[in-house]
Amino acid sequence: MSGRGKGGKTGVKSKTRSTRAGLQFPVGRVHRLLRKGNYAERVGYLAAEVLELAGNAARDNKKTHVIPRHLQLAIRNDEELNKLLAQGGVLPNIQAVLLPKKTDKVKA
**Statement: the pTM of the whole predicted model exceeds 0.85:** no
Does residue 105 surpass a pLDDT of 60? yes
Average of per-residue pLDDT across 31-39:
85
The topology under which CATH files domain 24-88 is: Histone, subunit A (1.10.20)
Q: How confident is the model at residue 9 (pLDDT cuts 50, 70, 90)?
A: low
CB atoms within 10 A of CB 18: 15
Task: Look at residues 99, 100, 78 and name the one whose alpha carbon lies nearest to residue 88.
Answer: 78
Report pLDDT digits (tens) over 41-80: 888 899 999 999 999 999 999 999 999 999 999 999 999 9
